[in-house]
Amino acid sequence: PGSAEAVYSIDGNVREKAMKVFASFRYQLADQKRGILTYYGVLLGFYVLFEILFAVAAVGEDVNGSTTNGITAVTAVYVFVASLCSFKDNFGMSLQNGVSRRSTFLARLCTAGAMCAVMAVADELVTILAPLPSRLMGIEMGSMSLMENLYFSAAGAWLAGAFLLHLCSAAFGFFMLLAAAGLGYLITILFYRLNKLGKILVGAGVPVLVFFGLPALELLDQFISNGAVIKAVSGFFAVVFQFAFGQPQNTALTCLVLFAAMSGLSWLLMRRAV
């Protein structure tokens, strides 16, 4: 009987924690829903306006058509910005309602996965359906996903069939969006943990390092070693980037690894946040 009570107690604790994770997940997902709907409303409105203007401009003119490429690149910017705005309020609300930091973080991972999956599929649907109104008006309009735009020759080499191509494009977009979500969340937690001086140093220090520090180091290396160090470092990173982003499957795996690494850093910052 004693062991049975212990098992029941453990099972009850697990169920309670799972319910808290699910409640936080629903809350965070609801927080994203309006922004996502607004984003796609604006995106579709832009497409409609573009096609109307294009149809009007094509009247009496010898116009063959137009193309739109890589919607997911724009969506990645939205996901990044949405992630920048998704920590402070949700974190405070969770703690006030007895949801632990661990449960809140797990719910955030689920939210990021669900949000990116929905938006990746939505991007692919928009890519497929966007040219239809123009084609009904007799104007040939093409549309390509981000994966097709970046790796068209590679995609054609190892994919067969339109359905499989769209499926892989949606999966590719999902991993790209996931990396953008991880980066935005890491930055917002970092700034939440920093004091005022730290925020100023990081916010101003990164641009200064990029625009002034790196060129200064390049000049110094040119003076000392005739550019040998910069050349070796550049060659190393060129090989790494070629492997990481040279093929769509490599890019997807790289984005997944980056998301995992950034999520781990986010948890280290979040677990002691007050």
Q: Write down the pLDDT at residue 140.
A: 66
**4: pLDDT strictly greater than 80:** no
What percent of the chain is predicted at pLDDT more than 90?
Answer: 42
Residue 142 has pLDDT above 90, yes or no: no
Number of residues written out for the chain: 274
Mean pLDDT of 129-148: 72
Six-digit token pair at 94? 């969770």
Cα dihedral across residues 28, 33, 38, 41: positive or negative: positive
- What is the pLDDT, as a whole number, of residue 54? 72
The model carries a pTM of 0.84
pLDDT digits (tens, 9 = 90+) for 144-158: 888 888 887 555 544
At 137, is the pLDDT very low, low, confident or very high (cuts 50, 70, 90)?
A: low
Spell 69-97 as b/e; 16+ CB within 10 A means b: bbbbeebbebbbebbbebbeebbeebeee
Q: Which residue has the higher pLDDT, 66 or 20?
A: 20
Q: Rounded mean pLDDT of the chain?
A: 84
Phi-psi label, residue 70: left if phi above 0, alpha if psi -120 to 50, beta otherwise: left
Q: 256, 177 in Cβ contact below 8 A?
A: no
Which residue, among 246, 230, 249, has the nearest Cα to 172 in the 3D structure?
249
pLDDT of the residue at 58: 63
CB-CB neighbours of 21 under 10 Å: 21
How many angstroms separate the CA atoms of 19 and 247, rounded?
40
Indicate the helix (H) or strand (E) that contains 140: strand 140-144
Higher pLDDT residue, 79 or 221? 79
pLDDT surpasses 50 at 81: yes
When comparing pLDDT for 216 and 110, which is higher?
Answer: 110
> Rounded mean pLDDT of 58-66?
59
Q: Write down the pLDDT at residue 7.
A: 47
A 10 A CB-CB count for 11 gives: 10
